[in-house]
Structure 1
């Protein structure tokens, strides 16, 4: 069971593309899901925040292996985006992602997130 992902009141997290996306968290989220859909898990790993990529794999597993096993939604069209400074939440038709803007662009900190009533989000991939 994954631990709940806490979303501070003034924070929401980051997504990025094969190359990190410097323009928008929405585009970064879409690129992340495009890489997953295209079975390019290594590229998707490159879009994760360093802490997320480091924490994701189990011992003896690569980041790409862990993403192949993660139960991520299908992505889809953006339905909403919220940005608070360097933090963002992007809701796609089939997934909710949290992103953070780093010096090199937007990176995914959490994906496969589902709201839990009266609790923080629960995410398949998180830091």
Structure 2
């Protein structure tokens, strides 16, 4: 009986170790939800909520006005005028970063603590060149 209990405990430990090592990082589900929530906030005119979903460097970038001065985040997002990109087509997580592709554009996110934050939005592919993004940080 003790041998069976020892074997069961060893198998449980092995299963736990394999499960812990088998993870490939955070699931992209939360990133997809954050990207959709970001666009929903913009569509509803809730710029404060959308600003709260931005990564720190992106927030700083949005607060820089065209003439180099500072502006409120809400004013910066309003000026960009991102439109609803439609339904997400795919979401992938790569370590602490994620990419959510919509029909017309792509959003890049980063994991901050346990929350996904928008690093860049309104991004379009340009072949071999980097994406062109309408909202991004430095």
TM-score over 0.5 (shorter chain):
yes
Instruction: Give runs of aligned pairs for residues 33-44 of structure 1, distance below 5 A.
Output: 33-44=39-50
The structure carrying a bigger strand percent of its residues is 1
TM-score (norm 2): 0.71
Shift of the 94–118 alpha-carbon distance from structure 1 to 2, 3 Å rule, reads closer
2:61 equivalent to 1:51? no
In 2, distance between residues paired with 1:52 and 1:75? Answer: 19
| Match for residue 104 of structure 2 among 94, 98, 109 | 94
SS in structure 1 at match of 2:54 = coil
Structure 1: 5+ residue stretches without partners: 1-22
CA offsets 1:53-112 (integer angstroms, 9 cap, x no match):
012121241111010011424132110112101110001233310000110410000000
The higher relative CO (CA closer than 8 Å, separation ≥ 6) is in 1
TM-score (norm 1): 0.77
Provide runs of 4+ in structure 1 moved above 2 Å.
none
Number of aligned residue pairs: give it: 105
Larger radius of gyration: 2
Structure 2: 5+ residue stretches without partners: 1-28
